[in-house]
Amino acid sequence: MRIFLAVLFLISAALGQEKLTSQKDRDLYNLLRKDLKAFAGEVTGNAPSELGQARMIVRWLAEHLEWKATDYQQRTVPEIINRGGGNCNELAMVAVAAMKEIDIRMRRVREINIHKETPARGETARAKVKEKGNRLSVFGRHHNDHVWIEIYDSKENEWYPADPSIGVVGTKEWLEARAGFGKRFTLDPISEDMIVPFAIVAADEKGAFSINRSQHYMVEEFGRLYPGRLDNLHAWGDWVRLLDELDDKAIGAFNGEVNLHDYEKTIDSLAEVYSELRSEYLRK
């Protein structure tokens, strides 16, 4: 068994290193494994701001570590790096660890999004809820959870999104990749099934997910992405109303107090409203 597991580990690591196509990238990967501070300093170079530094770290990690499906194993940052990648939470862990080494102020973010409808996922999710409780209801037949981080930029005195799975940093770039009506950028093919976020919560200083960012991103900033266009659409009012309706339920699910599967009809309605919003926008 030990030999079998060792072989699996070596195969996984080799697959993860397929993205290391240049000597420079191989050297950076070795730094990532051995000296996170040196890696962060080398990758960020002379970036003039925290946001610029974060962008360079996130982009390199997204380009050179593999996204891997969730397997419910607990891993340390070195284990994730040696494995050659991980799921969204594990990739965020690596990014956070690297950014801490150069004193970038950040906070973890949890999200629930409208996901491509998949009945089999719904059955798996319901079984997980029965086995482990309501916290596992953050994914289901028509929704999924996701993890990323926010970066504080002292020059702008503002928090900005950074997604180590997709490889985007900055509000406009993130919105175009996650909610935009045009072609979306991503370095993670799995993200194509994540249609649009509807609940976004950041961690406070104690690590509790209590800072509601849903309205900021999915109403205020989404509206600014298409200035003067969305709030004139018929579906916009329903979009804002349903986001507000699901906010407390999503936070309750993160805290294990609410089974989000009880609100699948509302999630289905929100998915329909987003589709209507997109269709209305593209018709005009």
Percent of the chain scored above 70 by pLDDT?
A: 93
pLDDT exceeds cutoff 60 at 17? no
- Band of pLDDT at residue 284, cut at 50, 70 and 90: confident
What does the pLDDT read at residue 14?
44
pLDDT tens digits along 25-49: 899 999 999 999 999 999 998 888 9
pLDDT exceeds cutoff 80 at 11? no
pLDDT tens digits along 198-216: 999 999 999 889 999 999 9
pLDDT exceeds cutoff 90 at 217? yes
pTM: 0.89
Mean pLDDT (the chain) is 91
pLDDT tens digits along 97-133: 999 999 999 999 999 999 999 999 999 999 999 999 9
pLDDT tens digits along 229-266: 999 999 999 999 999 999 999 999 999 999 999 999 99
What does the pLDDT read at residue 19?
65
Tell me how far apart the alpha carbons of residues 218 and 201 are, in angstroms, rounded to a whole number.
Answer: 12
What does the pLDDT read at residue 229?
94
pLDDT exceeds cutoff 70 at 136? yes
Domain ranges of the chain: 1-103, 105-284
Q: What is the DSSP track for the chain? A: -HHHHHHHHHHHHHHHGGG--SHHHHHHHHHHHH-HHHHHHHHHTT-SSHHHHHHHHHHHHHHHSEE---------HHHHHHHTEESHHHHHHHHHHHHHTTT--EEEEEEEEEE---HHHHHHHHHHHHHH-GGGGGS-SSEEEEEEEEEEETTTTEEEEEETTTTEESHHHHHHHHT-SS----S-GGGGGEEEEEEEEEE-TTS-EEEE-HHIIIIIIHHHHSTTTGGGSTTHHHHHHHHHHHHHHHHHHHTTS--GGGGHHHHHHHHHHHHHHHHHHHH-
Contact 44, 56 (CB under 8 A): yes
What does the pLDDT read at residue 70?
86
